[in-house]
Structures are given as structure tokens and as C-alpha cells.
Structure 1
């Protein structure tokens, strides 16, 4: 299959492909999504096949207008209206109980709930509107790998597997949306993102405790809760400067005979440029928002480095505000690896 590039001005053909049951990657403010007709089971199955995604991992449904929710949702909680008014379009996904049979089970993972959001991207909103159908939109990458924040990332993973890619430049946020479960007795964050717990609580009051993972055979309600995610092929290790200095971490890696890449703020990259094989700059040490925007790009850059790295040493940030989302992704990528 030839994968066609579309600009944000060439959406009619992209929408036609979607309506024919084909897959088209689309831009959002968070990461690039892999679009398919959410009402077409066969089209959605192609998403799982292209990504190599586990079939019990539910998908997020992307809409262009919140009025479309009534077709699928059993009853909208009162809190939903305030959240949609404040954060939609934007990087907040809401989980609701849905009407029986309103969406294929391949979208919901067989659950009686589904996740919805309206992305904050003009081209994608126009694409959904032109197609006239809701779109599933998991990250447009090979399952388990760092999510794509640039068109080149999508092409790297999915060329020849999907019909098209809409090129709208780099994404603004860089991490997937916050997922908030409104189908339970109390609202609970299932995946942290750019919309923080504090911001949500300012709108609807206190949330329940985060539930970011499921274990064993339990069915996840949201992406990112169960399976390996965000990991490059190169081993990722966490550097917590309160426990181990960058110099100590780099010397440890070199003593093991590793070719070392670092994903770190500019001052660290400059200080150790002669000590490591390759590096990627996360800009200001205290700016977790910029670090989040660059995290996946940095992991991909170092993973694809011509220097054939053995390890990627990465900066940790306090798990406060956006730092919770950054560390959620990074902890999954590192799988607990810490230099010693």
C-alpha cells in the first residue's frame, strides 16, 4: 500500500478514504492519531493490525461537535457539561457509559463504556466534519513505542500500512490527553496529561485517587493502563539527581561498557557533551511543559541515533502538575531501570 501525504488544505480526499474504511493519520494538539471510522468494525480492526495493538485495549473516539455525544452516551453527568465547556476542544478525554450497541465492541474493548474527546486541531476537526463520522484515534505509531509528535515519526512506523497522513507540523503538547473516568461513582483520572488534576478540581471539585494501571486479567478502561508503552528499542534509565548525580550516572554507564545517550536539560547536555556518545536537549531544567513536548521526539531521536546507543539516560521531574504526566510516560518507557 502506498501511504499518501496530505496537507491541512487537502482534506476532501483524506475524508473520502476514511469513509471507504481506510486508515488516515491525523494531527492533534497532543500527538498524531491513527484515524478510522469508529462505527465501522472492519476499519477499526485495521487499526489494531497496523499498530500491532492488543485487542482488549480500548480506543478513544474523536468528535468534532459535543452534540454528537447524544448518539452514543447513555446519560451525560452534570459534571461533564462544565468540563466540556472549559476544556473542549482540548487535551481532555472523558469516559462515559454508552448506549448498548451504539459503538462496535472492537472500539470499547467489550466494555459498556467509551472514551471521547474533541481535539484542538483545526485540520482534524474539519476532517471529522467532512467525513461525517466519529473517528477512533490511538497514537499513530507501532504499539508500545514512543508516540508520534511529528509526521516523520508516523511515516517511520506506519509507511505502507496506512492509506494516508495529514501533515500539520509538530504537535504542541507532546503527550497524550488526560483521561478522566466519569462512568464510576466518583471521577477518577486514569491517565494524566496536559489538563492537570488541579485544573479539573477547580471545575468539578475533588477527584478520587488516580488509577493509572490495571493488573492481571483486568480490562483497562483507557489506553496506557495495562501494556508496555512509550518504549524505544534502546534501554531507558532514569537519573534522579537527588539520589545520583549526572556524572555518577554517566560514569556508571561507561564502566558497564555502554554507548551512552542523554535526554536532559541544556546545561546537562553541554556539561557532558564530551563524555557521552549522543544527546538530546530538553531545554530549560525547570520547564516540565517543554520537556513533555520534547520527550517522545527525544526518545525517538536517540533510539535512531547513527551512534548505535546501548542506553538512554533521562532526567526525572517532580510528579506535580504536568510532571505527573511526564513521569507517567517516562516510567513506562524505563520500566524501572535506575543506574546504581
Structure 2
């Protein structure tokens, strides 16, 4: 089924992000909790809602690979190949994150970023012009919900805006692959 988002939904989501709020939104994988990845106060709200320690870094979404150099010092050549060849969404962990809220960056200075191909999210990111956090819509330690109707009321009421788009979508979705790229050219599969 082809889903069309409405501009009012997009506008409301954008306003919440710009105001430092939290959103609950569909991605190219599973539903996520999101915020402005450059706003430390907003990022702390995500950790509080998920009841998750902030020592664990968060994944970010951008709408195009052209945004990557704004947030990581060097994009290894193999990253371009991985993004192009991957048949499913792939999140890549890069060394030397920059221009982001401190809490989205791992203790070793790395950050996980995925180029998102979901139409609503791409439109949102194009207008927002900054990366957004994307973490599963669940309390830390609980199973990640596969569909909107599996998301707990605690999460739904804990965000500032719930995106209307694709709430009735029951297409089976899965988390992204996660690959860590080291500065020395090492490639490590974290999650297939």
C-alpha cells in the first residue's frame, strides 16, 4: 500500500523539532522516538523517556549522504559502497563525530548515522536541515514494537507529537543493519 503524508502533519512535526520537543514517527525501519540531534536538552528528554542510561549513544537519521561530512570528520570510501549496495536500511557507525549534541556521541567519539529513504522522514529532514535522533519507540530493555499499535501508552504520551502518517501500517518491519567503520579501514558488523 502506498502511503501519502499530509503537509499539516509534516508542519506540526517540524515545529516540535524546532522547539526542542520529542516526536514519535515512522522510519524506513521501525517506529522511532526522535528529536533534534544537535540539541542536548532534547536528547536528554529521549534518555529520560526511554529510561535509558545516557552512556549508550543514539542513532541519527539524515536525508542524504551529502550531509555526512557535516557530522563526521571523514567518511571512509567503503561507507559510500555500503550505502549504495545495501538492500536493506544500513546504519553506519563513524569515528570522529562533530557538530552534534554530546550525548548522541559514543564515549569513543563515534556516531551511528543512517541515510533514511522513508518519504515523510526525508521531507522532514530536508526542511529541518539537521539530523534527528532515531531510537526505537520502547522503554529500554523492552521489545521494540514492530507496528504503531504495539507502542506503549507511556511512550505515546511521553512525546510532544505523534506523527499521524502510517499509524495503520502493519507491514512487517525490522531494525537496520549496523556496521562500524574504523579509521584504519576496519569493518565490523554489529547487527545484520
TM-score when scaled to structure 2?
A: 0.87
Question: C-alpha deviations, 1:75-127, integer Å up to 9, x for none?
Answer: 11111111122238x5100111125x422220013331111102231111112
Q: CA deviation at 1:29?
A: 2.8
Residue 157 of structure 2 is aligned to residue 130 of structure 1 = no
CA contact (8 A) 2:76 2:183 kept: no
Residue 103 of structure 2 is aligned to residue 74 of structure 1 = no
2:82 aligns to what SS in structure 1? helix
1:159 aligns to what SS in structure 2? helix
CA contact (8 A) 2:24 2:156 kept: no
Q: 1: distance between equivalents of 2:39 and 2:170?
A: 27
Q: Which has the higher contact order (CA 8 A, sep 6+)?
A: 2
Q: CA deviation at 1:25?
A: 1.1
CA contact (8 A) 1:30 1:171 kept: no
Q: 2: distance between equivalents of 1:146 and 1:92?
A: 20
Q: 2: distance between equivalents of 1:38 and 1:87?
A: 25
CA contact (8 A) 1:73 1:97 kept: yes
Match of 1:237 in 2: none
Q: CA deviation at 1:171?
A: 6.0
Q: 1: distance between equivalents of 2:172 and 2:125?
A: 21
Q: After the TM superposition, which of the residue ranges 170-179 and 127-136 deviates more from structure 2?
A: 170-179
Question: C-alpha deviations, 1:277-326, integer Å up to 9, x for none?
Answer: xxxxxxxxxxxxxxxxxxxxxxxxxxxxxxxxxxxxxxxxxxxxxxxxxx
Query: Which one has a bigger Cα radius of gyration?
Result: 1
CA contact (8 A) 1:27 1:33 kept: yes
Q: Superposed, which structure 2 residues align to 1:93-108 within 5 Å? A: 93-99=91-97, 101-108=98-105
TM-score when scaled to structure 1?
A: 0.51
CA contact (8 A) 2:17 2:36 kept: yes
1:148 corresponds, among 145, 152, 155, to 145
CA contact (8 A) 2:33 2:134 kept: yes
> RMSD of aligned C-alpha atoms?
1.9
Q: Superposed, which structure 2 residues align to 1:15-94 within 5 Å? A: 15-87=14-86, 90-94=88-92
Matched length: 184
1:34 aligns to what SS in structure 2? strand
